[in-house]
A and B are shown apart, each in its own frame.
Chain A
Amino acid sequence: MLRVLIIGYGNPLRGDDGFGWQAATRLQRLIADPEVGVMAVQQLTPELMEPVSRAGRVVFIDAASAGEPGVLREEIVAADPETGRFTHHSTPGGLLAGAAALFGRAPEATLYSAPGQDFGFAERLTPSVEKALGEVVARVRAGL
């Protein structure tokens, strides 16, 4: 069982939407602890419920569409089936609810998110979100 599972998600081809994905790929290079798993995915899919249910704690990293660009937010995520009415993608709360309903356990979870500025076609982050990328990587590592 993983002590911590980190899931960074987003579309790296859509500018700041790639924030979570880029954070996860950076963390994959930096973390060698076998008890910590890092996944970089484009969206939260239903099959993630099973590994989520087996993790001691889950850290989600995502971009946000509203708020001051690049200002990192940290929040506790609760299981929420109302946000999980997915067909092939979900939300952190929906995944936790699914993990509890189907696999008997929803671990504690934290969501780090940074509002983006540009979600157009680009493979790079805007400067403010790029700054938040370094910050989230440092905070997640410090919290392991």
Chain B
Amino acid sequence: MPRQKIVIDPVTRIEGHSKISIHLDDHGRVEEAFFHVTQFRGFEKFCEGRPFTEMPSLMARICGICPVSHLIASAKACDAILAVRIPPNAARLRRIMNLAQIVQSHALSFFHLSSPDFLLGMDSDPAKRNIFGVAEAHPGMARDGVRLRQFGQQTIERLGGKRVHPAWVVAGGVGEALSAPTRDAILAGIPDAMAIAMRTLDWFKNEMERFREEIRTFANFPTLFMALVAPDGGLDFYDGKLRFLDAGGHVVADGISADTYAQNVGEMVHPWTYLKTTYYKPLGYPDGIYRVGPLARLNVIDGCHMPRAGQEWAEFRELDRGAVLSSFYYHYARLIEIVFSLESMEQLLGSPDVLDPNVRAHASANNSEGVGVSEAPRGTLVHHYKVDGDGLITWANLIIATGHNNAAMNRGVLQVARHFVHGSRLNEGMLNRVEAVIRAFDPCLSCSTHAGGRMAMDVELRSSGGELLDALHR
């Protein structure tokens, strides 16, 4: 049997453009697989020459799903350039918006993108494998997804004036203090959101047994994990120090401050993709491959210091003796993080100082360089800027969560393809699982890899001589 190549192209339409290629050996067995990101954005380059104070608003345009994450990391980098310690209430309000972002983005990932796989099945009709298919079969679940995301989006809008690309987070703090009516309106929505999160988490835990094969094969291999950790060892999306953990659950490096990230995180490029790959520098590539995001965060922390989320975290960590390795559990971790976010928001909004009007520090550029690190829904986000004497950007480096996860996603595609793809035939369920392993990481690309269950996708199986052996289109 001649060598063959399966190409899934495009995997995505809007938020990102990518394709997957699967190479088969002479016996029709999967030999290699690649996840290619085929678009180029150029944000690091075209921001050069702009005043650094413009960076939060400019960088927020990187993404329409998680603009708040870029606002936060960018503003923190600008805080470092200003050399200010922002007012405590500014940090508190930024945290609340970041938590709302986690809730809405995780809700989008779980309910809109991935729940059709869980509820309708990986092998179900792709014409029905979408939110309307879910609405028909499980209307309560679909309604919960809409309401939970609505809560997160409304909270962002209440704080920042609009749902997408709010300009409220600025260098030195936030643009406006919180009012009592806004605080009360957000608080009023938390019980309903929490009820949704808890019943979804309970449901998912009961359903996981049905996905044993996916759990076993969805990027389930040893890697390092990286995330921010709070000073008390707890989960923190806004601040803290970076920690690396190995697959056995041992801390490899700890207490890494934002401004020393480059000593620990190596960056490289591969010729087949525009998405750069990162690795833990002391171990080099590929030994230093690590994962970020919900699974990594729950692996690296010592505890989840909220009543409900803490209990759920303890149960989660029982899944493995060391770190929890299967990327299928990203979905599970995502639900626990929603619970944590809602509990944290309630606690922060209950602070007697949350209405403090002192929410911004003013200064000129006092440092020529600044690094901001925060946890976005999909993982650790790094913004690093250099400025000249006039405060104009001369250099910028961004590391997005999807880049941290790039190497692991590639390995994950290979693992799933080896298990599910057989060179003699192609079918929808097989290809959906190849996509679903990427979806588990929730890269920005996943927004469009699951476009209503009818992702624009052409798959061709060709012989090494170019002969078309099999093809699927949807």
Q: Is A49 an interface residue (CB 8 A)?
A: yes
A71 CB, min distance to chain B CBs, angstroms: 29
Q: Distance in Å from the Cβ of A11 to the closest Cβ of chain B?
A: 10
A87 and B112 contact, CB distance less than 8 A: yes
Is A85's CB under 8 angstroms from B112's CB? no
- Chain A residues contacting B453 (CB-CB under 8 Å) are 85
Contacts of A42 in B (CB 8 A): 64, 164
Contacts of A103 in B (CB 8 A): 143
Q: Is the CB of B108 within 8 A of A88?
A: yes
Assess the B135–A85 pair: CB atoms within 8 A. Answer: no
Which B residues lie within 8 Å of A50 (CB)?
146-147, 150
Indicate the member of A50, A81, A84, A102 with the most B CB atoms within 10 Å: A102
A84 touches B132 (CB 8 A): yes
Choose the segment among B305-313, B374-382, B444-452 that binds chain A (4+ C-beta atoms closer than 8 Å).
B444-452
Segment 74-104 of A: residues with Cβ below 8 Å from B? 81, 84-88, 97-98, 101-103
Which interface class (under 10, 10 to 19, 20 to 34, 35 or more) fits A?
Answer: 10 to 19
- Per the 8 Å Cβ criterion, residues 63-112 of B in contact with A are 64-65, 108, 112
Contact A85 B146 (CB under 8 A): no
Contact assessment for A87 and B450 in the assembled complex, using a CB-CB cutoff below 8 Å? yes
A140 at the binding interface (Cβ < 8 Å): no
B113 lies within 8 A of chain A by Cβ: yes
Tell me the nearest residue of chain A to B113, going by C-beta.
A87
- Asked if B131 is at the interface (CB within 8 A of a chain A CB), the reply is yes
Nearest to B149 among chain A residues (CB) is A47
A97 interface neighbour in B65, B112, B132, Cβ under 8 Å: B132
Question: What 1/0 flags go to B454-471 for Cβ under 8 Å of A?
Answer: 100000000000000000
**Interchain CB contact (< 8 A) of A87 among B135, B139, B150, B452:** B452
**Complexed CA–CA distance, A46 and B131 (Å):** 10
A102 touches B452 (CB 8 A): no
Provide the bound-state CA to CA distance between A88 and B445, in Å.
Answer: 12
Q: Is the interface of A mostly helix, strand, loop or mixed?
A: helix
Question: Total A-B pairs in contact (CB under 8 Å)?
Answer: 64
Residues of B within 8 A of A (CB-CB), count: 29
Q: In the bound complex, what is the Cα–Cα distance between A94 and B198 (angstroms)?
A: 28
Contact with B along A52-87 (1 / 0, CB 8 A): 000000000000000000000000000001001111
Alpha-carbon gap, A6 to B145, bound state (A): 24
- Pair A81/B149 contact, Cβ less than 8 Å: no
Say yes or no: A41-B163 contact (C-beta < 8 A), given A81-B132, A84-B132: yes
- A88 touching B153, Cβ below 8 Å: no
Tell me the smallest distance from the CB of B454 to a CB of chain A, in Å.
6
Partner of B112, one of A81, A88, A101: A88
How would residues 142 to 162 of chain B score, 1 for a CB under 8 Å from any chain A CB and 0 otherwise?
110111011001100000000
Which residue in chain B gives the minimum CB-CB distance to A47? B150
* B112 contacts across to A, CB distance below 8 A: 46, 86-88
A102-B142 in contact given A41-B163, A88-B108 (Cβ < 8 Å): yes
B18 within 8 A of A: no
Is the CB of B130 closer than 8 A to any CB of chain A?
A: yes
* A45 touching B153, Cβ below 8 Å: yes
| Bound: A49/B139 CA distance, A | 13
In the complex, residue of chain A having the shortest beta-carbon distance to the beta carbon of B112: A87
Residues in A whose Cβ lies below 8 Å from that of B108: 87-88
Docked CA distance A21–B453 (Å): 29
Once bound together, how far apart are the Cα atoms of A138 and B135, in whole Å?
38
Report B-chain residues with C-beta under 8 Å of the C-beta of A47: 146-147, 149-150, 153-154
- Once bound together, how far apart are the Cα atoms of A101 and B131, in whole Å? 11
Residues of chain B with a CB closer than 8 A to A41's CB: 163
Interface status of B209 (Cβ within 8 A of chain A) = no
Q: Distance in Å from the Cβ of A86 to the closest Cβ of chain B?
A: 6
Scan A27-57; emit 1 where CB is below 8 A from any B CB, else 0: 0000000000000011001110110000000
Instruction: Give Cα A103–Cα B143 distance, bound, in whole angstroms.
Output: 7
A101 x B142 contact (CB < 8 A): yes
Give 26 A-B contacts (CB < 8 Å), ordered by A residue.
A42-B64, A45-B153, A45-B163, A46-B149, A47-B146, A47-B149, A47-B154, A49-B146, A50-B150, A84-B452, A85-B130, A85-B452, A85-B453, A86-B131, A87-B131, A87-B447, A87-B450, A88-B108, A88-B112, A97-B132, A98-B131, A101-B132, A101-B136, A101-B142, A102-B146, A103-B143
List 19 other contacts, CB 8 Å, given A47-B154, A49-B146, A86-B112.
A42-B64, A42-B164, A45-B153, A46-B112, A46-B146, A46-B149, A84-B132, A85-B454, A86-B131, A86-B452, A87-B131, A87-B447, A87-B448, A87-B451, A97-B132, A98-B135, A102-B139, A102-B142, A103-B143
